[in-house]
Amino acid sequence: MRIRQYPSLIRQLMKDMSQLNQKIWSDYKINIIQIQEEIFAISQMSSTFTNKENLLALAKLLASGEPVVFLTGAGLSVSSGITPYRYTSQAIWSNFVVEQGTRKTFKKDPEAWWNDFWLRTHEKQEFISAKPNPGHFAITHISKRCPNVRVVTQNIDTLHTKACLDPTRIVEVHGSLGKYKCVNQQLWKNNRLFVCPYSTHRVVLIPDLNQYALPNTSLEQGNLRVRVPRCPGCLDPLMPLTLLFDEKYQSHDGFGYARAERWFAKAKAIVFVGTSLSVNVTSEAINVGEKNGAELFNFNIMEDDTKMRGMRWILGKAEETLMELEKAVAQEMTKTGPDGKPRMRMCAWK
């Protein structure tokens, strides 16, 4: 059996086994993670040549000014101290998160949802104060050199923004910490159907949640409990502008999904970084990319060919491989075309 088939088998095994008794599951999970680490070490040994070849091909595309979309996931933020969502011993993905992370659960008891779920698992001080790592900066630097680069991120940690990426070039497709939406999508008021604009397209910014803190609690102490923030439009409870498990990307303009779709459709290359390719936006990107003949690249720690054939892999820690890419792009851009002029071309993004 080829090494590249192991990760998908392990994922299936983990899924099956999560149904088992929790104690047995925890023991097996530790073993599986050890096996994964060994496979990673082996795959690293055989990846050096492929990395170089694929990295250079992508650097050439970027340097020539072709439209390229980076689609980044949790793997990019690991070295910034953000807990990955899946497939590691510290992952926050669990039945608890899937069960609680819904609009339906929120509506039952917004106060409990905020205090017993959201502030304990997502909007924590360690995530809010996390700093971007060299991988985020490499993407920013590449985007400054190459005006046709766009970034779609699955991460809500705002680290691309903290790394000074131009806000017009990024879509935070799963939402973002510090932004909030109204729960009220449809309600009758004075015999008229009312849809609050903050539930569909307007965003509420709350830079510091401590302003809602209950006595003797704060983000800094790690024990923050809040009174539920209210919508400025209709006074209903606010919820994070984060894609919940029973919500669609199109449910709020703040997710920017229509823009991401346009970028994917125009891209000559789509570059996946640190994503497990297991959410709808990655499937959409792969489908559109394959349909349009775009090149697909994947920066990841482990190769997995179960989902697509034409993917070009660059294996290693994202912060290291992205810095190599940045260097390769800079080198390529010093070259000129046959007419002696730089080879960069511009495209008109919408």
Q: How far apart are CA 350 and CA 335, in angstroms?
A: 29
| Beta strands at 149-153 and 170-172: parallel, antiparallel or unpaired | parallel
Name residues contacting Zn ion, limited to 170-199 (CB under 5 A). Answer: 182, 184, 196, 198
Does the footprint of Zn ion cover residue 64 (CB under 5 A)? no
Q: Which is nearer to Zn ion, 198 or 313 (CB)?
A: 198
Active site residue 141: no
Q: Which is nearer to Zn ion, 30 or 193 (CB)?
A: 193
Is the Cα torsion angle 311, 317, 319, 321 positive or negative in sign? Answer: negative
**Minimum distance from CB of 192 to Zn ion (Å)?**
15
Residues 6+ apart with CB under 8 A from 245: 98, 101, 102
Number of residues forming the site for Zn ion (CB under 5 A): 8
Q: Which is nearer to Zn ion, 233 or 342 (CB)?
A: 233
Q: Which stretches does DSSP call E strand in the chain?
A: 68-72, 149-153, 170-172, 175-182, 187-189, 192-194, 204-205, 238-242, 269-273, 295-300, 312-315
Does the footprint of Zn ion cover residue 233 (CB under 5 A)? yes
Contact 182, 236 (CB under 8 A): yes
**Minimum distance from CB of 152 to Zn ion (Å)?**
27
What's the order of all strands across the beta sheet hosting 295-300?
170-172, 149-153, 68-72, 269-273, 295-300, 312-315
**Minimum distance from CB of 241 to Zn ion (Å)?**
13
Does the footprint of Zn ion cover residue 234 (CB under 5 A)? yes
Which of 160, 174, 201, 252 is flagged as catalytic?
Answer: 174
State which of residues 165, 231, 325, 333 lies at the interface with Zn ion (CB under 5 A). Answer: 231
Q: Which is nearer to Zn ion, 76 or 231 (CB)?
A: 231
Neighbouring C-beta atoms of residue 203, cutoff 10 Å: 17
List contacts with Zn ion (CB under 5 A): 182, 184, 196, 198, 231, 233-234, 236
Enzyme catalytic residues: 174
